[in-house]
Amino acid sequence: MRLRNIPGSRDVIAENEYVVHEEKTVKGKWNIVFGNDNPIRIEIGMGKGRFICEIAMCNPGINYVGIEKYSSVLLRAIQKQEELKLPNLKFIRMDAEEIAEVFGKDEVDRIYLNFSDPWPKDRHAKRRLPSRQFLKRYDSFLKKDGIIEFKTDNRDLFDYAVIEANEAGWNIDSITYDLHNDPVMNEGNIMTEYEERFSSKGNPIFKYIISR
Ligand code: SAM
């Protein structure tokens, strides 16, 4: 997702209290950023932030960090948070390729990947957020018993992600090829913007939960 460039969005982000700047300097110190030792969960490629705002609102005892590459998109999440003012929600504008430089060992207990960009060309496979290259990065900061939750309506991307998880030695704890009709996995499901859009067209939603 890349919205039209919004003039001034970089300035708004630079001054916003909910955006963590110089994020590499807080590696291993996220408890200081939040002012508590609550668990930390992150969404990578959060888009306009519907999912992370709602999950943070429902779980005040957990800290959330939403990561998004584009300023114009992040701005929409900031606008939501400006109204909600949730103390347990922060954002970073960055390319997740550098994520291992932002969180320290065991600092995160859950990673959400929601409707990640598919990067359909083979030569771009390593840019896919559930690729083995990204799993290796996640491995460096996810707690030992931490999990990754991934959902998408893109069957090719999902099949690829399942293969990558297996190849990288992760365990598939749960899997569904029709989330909204799976009473167990759908319990407490929070819809993302893309999920709403694609499921309303009749697309089934695929989801896995993996651990090592
Ligand atoms: N998660 C949201 C949802 O489900 O509605 C947005 C999905 S959208 C298809 C994917 C988002 O991930 C886009 O906003 C894109 O800019 C962001 N993204 C893709 N690759 C990224 C990366 N390497 N680092 C940070 N954000 C990324």
How does residue 70 score in pLDDT terms, banded at 50, 70 and 90?
A: very high
105 closest CA partner among 64, 76, 137: 137
State the average pLDDT for the chain. Answer: 96
Ligand 1: nearest atom to the Cα of 70: 16
Which pLDDT score, from 0 to 100, does residue 9 have? 80
Q: Count Cα neighbours of 151 within 13 Å in the Cβ-side half-sphere.
A: 27
Task: Tell whether the model's pLDDT for residue 86 goes beyond 90.
Answer: yes
Q: What percent of the chain has pLDDT over 90?
A: 93
Q: Give this prediction's pTM.
A: 0.96
Which pLDDT score, from 0 to 100, does residue 11 have? 84
Q: How far is the centre of ligand 1, averaged over its atoms, from the C-alpha of 89 (Å)?
A: 18
CA 16 to chain centre: 20
Find the catalytic residue in 11, 95, 106, 117: 117
Known catalytic membership, residue 117: yes
Ligand 1: nearest atom to the Cα of 113: 1
Task: Tell whether the model's pLDDT for residue 6 goes beyond 80.
Answer: no
CA dist 140 and 175 (Å) reads: 24
165-192 per-position pLDDT tens digit: 999 999 999 999 999 999 999 999 999 9
Q: How far is the centre of ligand 1, averaged over its atoms, from the C-alpha of 167 (Å)?
A: 24
36-61 per-position pLDDT tens digit: 999 999 999 999 999 999 999 999 99
Which pLDDT score, from 0 to 100, does residue 36 have? 98
From 19, 44, 151, mutation site for ligand 1 pocket: most ligand atoms within 8 A of C-beta: 44
**Which residue, by CA, sits nearest to atom 8 of ligand 1?**
1
Which pLDDT score, from 0 to 100, does residue 142 have? 98
Which pLDDT score, from 0 to 100, does residue 4 have? 63
CATH 3.40.50.150 fits 3-211, yes or no: yes
87-123 per-position pLDDT tens digit: 999 999 999 999 999 999 999 999 999 999 999 999 9
Cβ count near 202 (within 10 Å): 7
